């Protein structure tokens, strides 16, 4: 497999060392180390991304736009092989090769406010670069990925079909989700009112999707662009809130460890708005705090729905894994809601 892929780029297999790389959960990635240059080889997970060509076409359109309007922006896109292809098919599987960015690193945990600030700044910079881009040129690589109304409907359907044991085990979490249906109502209102503009959105703003400089510790660029598609900015900001605010991640079983770090919220706001302040409309800016509620609530619903559906989507390692994840996210939502007054004060006092 490796030999055939490398040959399509004119690379001599024997000249490279190949080893697994990174902590991604969806696609499989290897680092290809050579005497002169290093690369990343990635296999697209077609169980998640049903149309790999849509990813490839999106990246082509975005690269073409940047070449015309922002050629100096570091956009980590696949390299073309000898046939000018950026997507290589071997034995029915889809691969691509990226340049390895020297003197860069990624991190898996937001340890301090500077991490959050640098990451938020990079995600804001990314969307700002495409502010004038025609989003109708992009395909949806994951249809309805952040459609909260759809997730609520899937949850309601799961309530009808789930077995008694799982309904009983999740009774408190089900009640908690129902109690917060108003978040979905607010989401529907702002979408229907046109308060949010369709933009080029990353949709997966985990901290490990940002490259940091080994020398300065500052953010360099964003990576893992498979979920880049038309969307609303609350998706990117909300996912940062969901994954940066608490020291404990979504796998934590001890709910007492889940708490919002208000300093990290401030850092997300400063970093993102330094880039996006001038392009976001007033109605969009008014939804900054809502973005966290939106995303945390949606992920809680997705975990709980999967538990009720007997764990058919997310990989689990023990029987109540998805239920624990749902409890975790609902606890984060509670902490977030309790901090809303402080968040509003931060927005009022922070100059960007």
Looking at residue 149, which CATH number applies to its domain?
A: 3.90.1200.10
- Which tens digit of pLDDT belongs to each residue from 251-308? 999 999 999 999 999 999 999 999 999 999 999 999 999 999 999 999 999 999 999 9
The answer to the question of residue 107 being in a domain is no
Q: Are 27 and 52 spatial neighbours (Cβ–Cβ below 8 Å)?
A: no
| One pLDDT digit (tens) per residue for the chain, 352 residues | 788 898 898 887 777 788 887 655 567 889 888 777 888 999 988 888 889 999 999 999 999 999 999 999 999 999 999 999 999 998 888 999 999 999 999 999 999 999 999 999 999 999 999 999 999 999 999 999 999 999 999 999 999 999 999 999 999 999 999 999 999 999 999 999 998 999 999 999 999 999 999 999 999 999 999 999 999 999 999 999 999 999 999 999 999 999 999 999 999 999 999 999 999 999 999 999 999 999 999 999 999 999 999 999 888 999 999 999 999 999 999 999 999 999 999 999 986 5
Question: Which two three-digit tokens encode residue 175?
Answer: 């009640």
Q: Which of 41, 76, 100 is the last residue of a domain?
A: 100
Q: Is residue 64 part of a domain?
A: yes
State the pLDDT at residue 154. Answer: 97
Residues 57 and 30 in one domain: yes
Task: Say yes or no: 250 and 321 in one domain.
Answer: yes
Could you say which of 100, 121, 148 is where a domain stops? 100
Are residues 203 and 299 both part of a single domain? yes
Domain of residue 243, residue span: 113-349
- Tell whether 148 and 287 lie within a shared domain: yes
Q: What is the domain-level CATH number for residue 73?
A: 3.30.200.20
Pair 202, 225: CB distance under 8 Å: yes
84 and 125 belong to one structural domain: no
Joined tokens for residue 100 = 């390895």
Domain membership of residue 86 (yes or no) is: yes
- Check whether residue 43 and residue 120 sit in a common domain: no
């Amino acid at each position: 497999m490796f030999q055939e892929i490398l040959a399509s780029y004119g690379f001599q297999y024997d000249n490279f060392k190949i080893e697994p790389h990174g902590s991604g959960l969806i696609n499989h990635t290897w680092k290809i180390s050579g005497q002169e240059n290093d690369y990343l080889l990635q296999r697209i997970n077609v169980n998640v991304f049903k149309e790999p060509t849509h990813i490839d076409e999106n990246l082509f359109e975005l690269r073409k736009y940047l070449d015309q309007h922002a050629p100096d922006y570091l956009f980590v896109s696949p390299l073309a092989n000898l046939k000018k292809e950026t997507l290589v098919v071997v034995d029915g599987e889809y691969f691509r090769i990226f340049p390895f960015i020297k003197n860069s690193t990624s991190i898996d945990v937001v340890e301090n406010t500077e991490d959050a600030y640098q990451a938020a700044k990079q995600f804001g910079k990314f969307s700002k670069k495409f502010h004038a881009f025609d989003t109708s040129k992009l395909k949806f690589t994951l249809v309805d990925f952040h459609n909260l109304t759809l997730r609520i409907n899937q949850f309601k359907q799961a309530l009808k079909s789930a077995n008694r044991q799982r309904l009983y085990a999740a009774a408190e979490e089900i009640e908690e989700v129902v109690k917060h249906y108003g978040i979905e109502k607010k989401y529907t209102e702002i979408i229907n009112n046109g308060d949010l503009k369709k933009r080029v959105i990353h949709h997966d703003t985990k901290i490990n999707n940002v490259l940091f400089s080994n020398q300065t510790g500052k953010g360099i660029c964003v990576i893992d662009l498979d979920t880049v598609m038309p969307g609303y900015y609350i998706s990117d900001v909300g996912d940062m809130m969901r994954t940066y605010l608490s020291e404990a991640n979504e796998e934590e079983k001890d709910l007492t460890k889940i708490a919002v770090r208000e300093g990290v919220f401030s850092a997300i706001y400063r970093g993102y708005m330094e880039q996006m302040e001038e392009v976001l409309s007033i109605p969009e800016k008014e939804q900054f705090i809502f973005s966290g509620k939106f995303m945390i609530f949606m992920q809680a619903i997705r975990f709980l729905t999967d538990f009720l559906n007997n764990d058919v989507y997310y990989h689990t390692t023990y029987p109540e894994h998805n239920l624990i994840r749902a409890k975790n996210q609902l606890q984060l939502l509670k902490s977030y809601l309790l901090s809303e007054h402080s968040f509003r004060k931060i927005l009022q006092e922070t100059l960007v």
